[in-house]
Amino acid sequence: MRRIFDTGNAAITEGAIFAGCQLFAGYPITPATEIAENMSRRMPLAGGYYVQTEDELVALHVCVGGALGGLKAVTATSGSGYILFADPYGWALGSEIPVVVVNAQRVGPVSGITGAPGQGEFYLSRYPTHGGNFESIVLAPNCAQ
């Protein structure tokens, strides 16, 4: 068995491609920037599309549009970028449009301030928009395996 030592962000990239991801749209924001960098290299080799957008809001709108067109779409962000997802995320949930959102969470509350640890991003992921009327599937792994 071949072993590969890599980061969690690289594992996310490879897992998405293995699962058939055809579109990645994103905007660089730490610590999700590594995912965007890896996808920019890997998506063209896998026959997919990589789009760097002007902000996080546009990234999720591009993914939702790609999913409507039949592509398996993924985006990634963290902290304050995740807050901007509320509108397109609510549209995708309410319209039952499948899209994968990676929240590379960092220590701190949902605003992205890194001064105090909190669970704000987890709860925003679980009950993302429209008053919490929709539940989403949230996976929170603790390691790359």
| Sequence-ordered strand ranges (E) for 28-80 | 49-52, 73-77
Instruction: Yes or no: say if 65 and 41 are a contact pair by the CB < 8 Å rule.
Output: no
d(CA 81, CA 127): 17
Q: What is the pLDDT of residues 99-129, one digit of tens each?
A: 999 988 766 555 555 555 556 667 677 776 6
Mean pLDDT per 10-residue interval, the chain, length 145 residues: 78 94 94 94 96 94 96 91 82 89 72 56 70 73 68
Look at residue 143 and tell me if it is in a domain. Answer: no
The total domain count for the chain is 1
CATH code of the domain covering residue 39: 3.40.50.970
The domain containing residue 101 runs over which residues?
Answer: 8-132
Helices (H), 46-145: 56-68, 80-83, 86-94, 120-126
Look at residue 1 and tell me if it is in a domain. Answer: no
Q: Whole-model pTM?
A: 0.84
Look at residue 88 and tell me if it is in a domain. Answer: yes
